Structure 1
Amino acid sequence: YMSPMPIGASLATLFSLLVALIATPWLAYRFLKADEHEKEYILEETLIYRIYQRTLAPILSSRKKIWLALGIGVGLQLIAVSLLFLRVVEVKMLPFDNKSEFQVIVDMPEGTTLEQTAAVTKEIAAYLRTEPEVENYQYYVGTHAPINFNGLVRHYYLRQGNNMGDIQVNLVEKGERDAQSHEIAKRVRPKVQEIGRRYNARVKIAEVPPGPPVLSTLVAEIYGPDYQKQVAVARKIKEIFEQTPGVVDVDWLVEDDQVVYKMVVDKEKAALAGVSTQQVAQALRIALHGADVGLLHDENELEPLGIELRLGRENRSSIESLENVSVMSRTGQMIPIGDLVTLEKRVEDKSIYRKNLKRVVYVTGDVSGEIESPIYALLDMDKKIAKLDLPDGVKIEPLYTRAPFLEEKVGMKWDGEWQITYEVFRDLGAAFAVVLIIIYMLIIGWFQSFKVPLIMMIAIPLSLVGIIPGHWIHGAFFTATSMIGMIALAGIM
């Protein structure tokens, strides 16, 4: 994502060197005549020097005025930096991009039928059709939409089941609409979630990220020695997510209880009735999933039509109907399956996620509203998480840069966009420090002084006086690209 910048800067420097060594001397020889330089150049008579002299001479004439000027500079610096902490200028990884698509993710409770999932998905799609910026859409029920880079990181390829639906929404061309894709996503989110609540569905808007994709913008990872304790803590943290203003699309990667019925063949009864276990299993498989039993040759069709033997939808949707399916014994008698099996009811096994070999429970969310930087939502929730009353008097201290080393007690780590933001700004900060050292060494070699470079480099931190308020005036985020520009500006100074 950042590679075009250093590549472009390196090429620009190379071409600038070629122009300086080849084009500039030739142009100077051709167009700069000797008579134009007969007049002696006197620095003190230039306009810039006179303005500079009139401005700084009064300040430098008095020690008190010098300290006053320094105080004003430091004060302006502190005011500019405080805009970041006061959330006037928001810090974010990258600004929102204007994409041509977004996805709507529909999750119904486990055990929901495909028809119920289709109903809510179709209603959401019908609403999206009314939006003027929507060019077309395609919805998928029971499976996932075509995988893009964002879906690859968010594991959308695992979305298979009757309770899942996706809607791929394509917008009209950027030049044909006034609204950005992020504004459109913000506008449709309340309505689609209102439709989802009527069906007890969790509906999320998945935008194409401007930078490296993550599992979600806000991610809380809960670690611990016992999975049930992790789930209990995750449930409380999920409630904090839902109660925090600006945090939307709250979800967690914990599945609801799903009842599963298991028919266990009583081998003694089956043997007495002259029926094998294989017969019972085959009959149930045909009843539920069907079996090809032949071909139908129709003169109106180019190809033969397959004939499938299967119970009707209404009959295969109830246990009673399945128990009434009969199998033939060795004596030719038809015996209902219900007389040969014992029905067991249990809860389906749930998915348990691991990260770096550690069991983890994920709570996810996004940010939308007045404050759209995850860092500030994260800080707001930190205060509430610290006050949680947990069993055994355990207090959670959220970690920001690494997962808990041991799993002897419940712990939590922030992930998502925050992790990438931290790593990028950490690396850019280190690069900035190296740049400052190199600039200092170069100026020392030029002026043969250790003090002069320090005086000259004071202008570098003072550049924040213009940089941060400039972001505020334009309503822009302070992002990683802003940091790169700041480093480049330091080199110019």
Structure 2
Amino acid sequence: MAEQLKNYNGVSAIEDDMPYGQEQLIYRIKGQGEVLGLTVENVGRQLRAAFDGQLVQIFQDGDDEVEVRVMLPDAERNTLATLENFMLRLPNGGSAPLSSVVEFESRRGFDVLRHTDSQLAIHITATVDSVVNNNNVILEDMKKAFLPEISSKYGVKVGYEGRAEEQADTMSDMAQGTLLAFIMIYLVLAWVFSSYGWPLVVMAAIPFGLIGALIGHWLLGIDLTILSLFGIFGLSGIVVNDSIILVTFFKQLTESGMPAQQAIIEASTQRLRAVLLTSLTTIAGLTPLLFETSLQAQFLIPMAVSMSFGLMFSTVLVLLVIPAMLAVYERVANKFLPKRTDSVTI
């Protein structure tokens, strides 16, 4: 993993928490040893008894508890040559030289075995220069081929912590918050308009703001960040305000007796200035932030891009789409509510 990260530009300070310790001898049972009935556990117990001692008795010496262990002499325990001449007891009662049934491999061991969620784990961290590269782009690239290959080859699971984990948690919380916010907006609009249909017409402008925000990030070459999403949330409220201005005036005209089709045209022309002023003043206030070069303002630019471009894009569509949706709504209402006398032609 660390070697793979070195291939990406802008990645530095690659570290892991592998607590390497002293050299160890890793042993495996040869084919001959398996035929004789030896297992890794059986060999391990015999080696432990020989070099660490086999507990045979515990007795009290006054207030002290004394353990009696049987083991090889220190002169044999402290040299690797002992392994060559060490005799293993076989399950059938015989014996065999250790070197004939076991093969050894020298490898650095670990001082500590680290765990995450009760599973053995290794943590690999790196620093990404945001000017040169993006950590999300790097992770997505590694997810395509490298990480699945590692998982299938070694049987390991890959998890994401640090900034990736924080982003995943934040996105989950924001998804729940978005759903709650839309429900609250709908309930408020339903209460204000005393209708279940009008709020849907008003809220139809929200997706247009999202499209404009994404287009703005693409045009300026800015990555979509958490602050970009915050800007989109704020944008939703502003876009809804533009729709409310249009729909409220239309509702007043129809209640005064004006035919629906004429009321749509009148509302669109009469409220054009109010909608444009609401949007343009907000865009004008955010525009200086887009060209700010100070370091302190850089993290706010994605939010400003979301709000300014989203509002710019949605304002035009609100003036075109909302009147069309009002016409559709009136047409459907006339179809299902026979008492209505207004007619709408699209």
TM over 0.5: no
Q: Which has the higher contact order (CA 8 A, sep 6+)?
A: 1
Q: Which of the two has higher C-alpha Rg?
A: 2
TM-score bracket relative to the smaller structure: 0.3 to 0.5
**TM-score normalised by the chain length of structure 1:** 0.29
**TM-score normalised by the chain length of structure 2:** 0.40
Higher share in helix = 2
